[in-house]
Amino acid sequence: MKKKRFPKREYHIPFFDEQGFERKFCSNCSEYFWTLIPDMETCGEATSKGCTQYTFIGNPPTRKAYNLHEMRETFLSFFEKRGHQRMKPYPVVARWRDDLYLTSASIVDFQPYVTNGIVPAPANPLVISQPCIRLIDVDNTGPTFGRHLTFFEMGGHHAFNYPDKEVYWKDQTVRYHHEFVTKELGIPSEEVIYKEDVWSGGGNAGPDLETVVRGLELATLVFMKFKVVNGKFVELPIRTVDTGYGIERYTWISRGTVSGFHAIYGTILDKIFKMASFGKVDNNLLAEIAQVSGTFEPGESAKRETSWKKVAKQVGMTKSELIKFFKPIETAFAVADHTKSLAFLLAEGVVPSNVQEGYLTRLLIRRTYRLLRALAIEDRLDDIIDLQIRIWSKDFPRLREMHKEILDVLSVEKRKFEDTLKRGDALVSRIAQNLKAKGKRKLPIKTLVELYDSHGLPPEAVRESAMKKGITVEAPDDFYKMVAERHLEAPPKEELVTDERLDLVATLPETQLLYYTDSHLTQFESRVLRVLKKNQVILEKTIFYPEGGGQPSDKGSFEFNGEKTEVVDVQKVGRVVIHTVKDPVPKEGGKIKGQIDWDRRSALMRAHTATHLIMGAARRVLGQHVWQTGTQKNVEQARLDISHYQRLTPEEVNRIEVLANQAATSMIPVETQWLPRDEAEAEFGFRLYQGGAVPGKEIRVVKVGEWEVEACAGTHVGNTGEIGFIKILNTERIQDGIERIVYSTAHHAVQASQAKEKLLRQVADTLDAPIDKLLPTTKRLLKEWKEMRRENKRLIEELAVLESGKSIEQTAITKEIDGTKLVIQKYEPINVNRMIKTASKITKNDPTSVALFYGADKKTARMVILAGGSAVAKGVNASEIAKEAAEILGGGGSGRPEFAQGGGTRSGKIGVALQKAEDRLRKQLSITPQ
């Protein structure tokens, strides 16, 4: 596919003419660029296309060396002095977006609402240093020496140009950049190159200029003027200056270190090297590798292979010796980067799971764990995370606040991964055996991806298990990028069938929503604007709440012209509310008097506000990582799904319940207000989006004192005292990382408690013990039952010994089949344990025997088949016998060659089944039935 290009006019600005920049065409990469050097033939960027090499390593072009903190502050201050308002960084989890999970660029903070003109910019112009996580670069992190990172800070100075207000555009953007790199940092003007390119992301696009100094791309200056619609560029009314300054890259070039990791992670990297017992690292050799191989990416295997040979030849080593030297260092680079990403992700409350940002976090945890294992320091993960938190919390205090929770989550996740690896070994072994049976010796890439996606098994672990069975595993160099790409963005929304009613109501005014004016209104009067098919009524105004946000619709009645009809469902379509009623139906233009089912509405209001109280209580008990992942309110009971990394304990559930009830009895006012999106986010932060991203220019904020605040469209009580008693009925783990809390409120909670008390009394009556003595009585009875079970087991053992001896000859049918003794014995009543024990004794005493024991009553038939060692060696397979016989009984059978069971509900067919079992045994022994 031909790369899209914009014409020269999109990049030709007055600044280039004033300074003497010339437009040239790179003979290597076929890209246009602007430079002050007249005889320059290539674009000057060190990439795998071979345009140049890094020339800043050991020779930085800046006036001084900066650390990351200093470079960030220099960048922010520079633009602050030039009229840009400094913004606090947004979270690394993009909870305000419904199309992606992680913040991968500074412009993500302002898409789509600001860039599409839905809400005003928080400041214009503005400057921000935004922490970003970009897992598409996960495999490149390490091999490219710091050119790619999963965690980085993107410095962005943004200007939003409206049709009636121009802030600044291309020319001033480039002037700012050039002034920053030359006057502020001291880089000579002639060393700055501007490459032309096209940028597209987040649904927007535009021409961009990439700035390059001494081989390293430092910034991208994007002029966002298009919206991407079905692959086509459509002009936007708002033109956005979207710049991305790589704060880490500027830091690297200012220090001239052999890698970006040395510049960013100095102390942390040294300690990782020490943990891994690296000894003294030859930085000169590293520099040689960086110059030739650091510009290639893992996906460019052939080019990297050539570069390794070239470097090896230059330094007088073999390729394998060179790789042996660099591979552990490359691994340490990745560990330094990945652990920082993990610290920030977990600080934002991400719970590792199998979906959304939880999946991406788990991917990074497991990859990091395997990298540490390669360095033989997997037990030092907590220590390295601790280092990251201590160093970066000076600039990002949230890390310090979440320190304990970060380590707690990691501890649980490490145990889960170890369990996964244990289970995975057996799974991979079975797959390997199946491949060998088909004459194959290599695991398909598709299977490798499925093993990771479905079972969490990384390719390194799969390789270890498969090799034991003689199966080779070759993972692509960009394996983690490949699986991450499948999960970076939310799946496309299903195309909704356009509601045919939209056209019918398009000309109607917006329904006045009285339930927002006063949620305690029970009656109202309104004019009927329109009646649609199927008894669907649209009013001028309504107090009926339409279904939405996990809250069912109101029900009630309409009275009109001396008649009354029942309202059975309420939905919002576009801007109007549609009420579905039974017969009779009011006429258009007429008036109705409406009344809601107040018992239903009040129960739903109590449940909805209780959801907020339980949410706040859960976060106070479990930690700040708790977020709402789903909710459903009903009259008698409701549920709340929350993120949490392990099962809730009874003690935690009790504490949540107590805190929620304390909040309920504290009579806290419940305030609701509509706020512009930017104001709401500025005042309350991104905790607003408990239930996910909320569309629209304005957000309805529900605030329960200092207890909880959320963006919420539901109806609520006026103060928490109206809720009454809150009772948590049960909890369950609905998926990895998600806990469900089921609860009731008010009299429904009382009824639920009474039901449990009734059950408790019934148990007490059954055990003939008072309730206060129920626990010791139960313990005593359980102890007695265990003793009786042990005694029963002993007696069965004794009975089995007796039955397996001479006594069985009196009741069993014994047949000699080619040197194998078939013993058939019926048991009444059916006692499977006894059957197994006795059969086991028989086959142990006589390895040539096969025991076929069975029992049958009116409802079911059961069979147990055991074969001695000698019988199995001759070809007897108890599993095959059980399967075939059980089919006749209408059931199933399974097991191993030496032991199997089967059964079914056709007990009248037991005789036929026994004959089938004997026939199969004879076939296995190659004997024709007599």
pLDDT, tens digit, for every residue of 520-535?
Answer: 999 999 999 999 988 9
In the sheet that holds 726-735, the strands lie side by side as: 628-632, 638-643, 738-745, 726-735
Cβ atoms within 10 A of the Cβ of 541, count? 18
Highest mean pLDDT among 178-187, 440-449, 869-878: 178-187
Are the C-beta atoms of 557 and 594 separated by less than 8 Å?
yes
Rounded-to-integer distance, Cα 779 and Cα 863, Å: 36
First to last CA, the chain: 75
Give pLDDT, residue 6. Answer: 86
| Residues 6 or more apart in contact with residue 440 via CB below 8 angstroms | 471
Retrieve residue 389's tokens: 């938190």
Are the C-beta atoms of 478 and 298 separated by less than 8 Å?
yes
**Residue 216 — pLDDT band, cuts 50, 70, 90?**
very high
Best CA proximity match to 249, nearest among 113, 318, 152, 375: 152
The beta-carbon contacts of 500-507 under 8 Å, at least 24 apart in sequence, are 501/532, 501/536, 501/573, 501/578, 502/573, 502/574, 504/530, 504/532, 505/530, 505/532, 505/538, 505/573, 505/574, 505/575, 505/576, 505/578, 506/574
For the segment 53-66, the average pLDDT, to the nearest whole number, is: 94
Are the C-beta atoms of 693 and 95 separated by less than 8 Å?
yes
Give pLDDT, residue 930. Answer: 42
Rounded-to-integer distance, Cα 22 and Cα 219, Å: 20
Q: 866 vs 154, 319, 881, 895, CA distance in Å?
A: 69, 59, 10, 10
Are the C-beta atoms of 92 and 103 separated by less than 8 Å?
yes
**Residue 460 — pLDDT band, cuts 50, 70, 90?**
confident
List, for residues 306-342, the tens digit of each pLDDT value. 777 777 887 788 888 888 888 999 999 999 999 999 9
For the segment 812-840, the average pLDDT, to the nearest whole number, is: 88
List, for residues 713-726, the tens digit of each pLDDT value. 999 999 999 999 99
Query: What single letter denotes the amino acid at residue 78?
Result: F
H-helix or E-strand spanning residue 630: strand 628-632
Give pLDDT, residue 497. Answer: 47
Best CA proximity match to 406, nearest among 347, 340, 337: 347
pLDDT exceeding 90 applies to what percent of the chain?
Answer: 59
List, for residues 611-646, the tens digit of each pLDDT value. 999 999 999 999 999 999 889 999 999 999 999 999
Rounded-to-integer distance, Cα 691 and Cα 641, Å: 10
Does residue 664 have a pLDDT over 50?
Answer: yes
List, for residues 892-914, the tens digit of each pLDDT value. 999 999 999 999 999 899 999 99
List, for residues 368-420, the tens digit of each pLDDT value. 999 999 999 999 999 999 999 999 999 999 999 999 999 999 999 998 888 88
Tokens 């619709």, residue located: 553
Query: What single letter denotes the amino acid at residue 365?
Result: I
Highest mean pLDDT among 44-58, 307-321, 425-439, 793-807: 44-58
Give pLDDT, residue 865. Answer: 95
For the segment 162-183, the average pLDDT, to the nearest whole number, is: 95
Rounded-to-integer distance, Cα 920 and Cα 877, Å: 9
Does residue 795 have a pLDDT over 90?
Answer: no
- The phi and psi torsions of 763 (rounded to 5 degrees) equal -65, -45
Cβ atoms within 10 A of the Cβ of 152, count? 26
- The phi and psi torsions of 508 (rounded to 5 degrees) equal -80, 150
Q: Where are the alpha helices (DSSP H) in 224-380?
A: 247-255, 260-275, 283-292, 301-315, 319-347, 356-374
Output DSSP code: residue 158. Answer: E
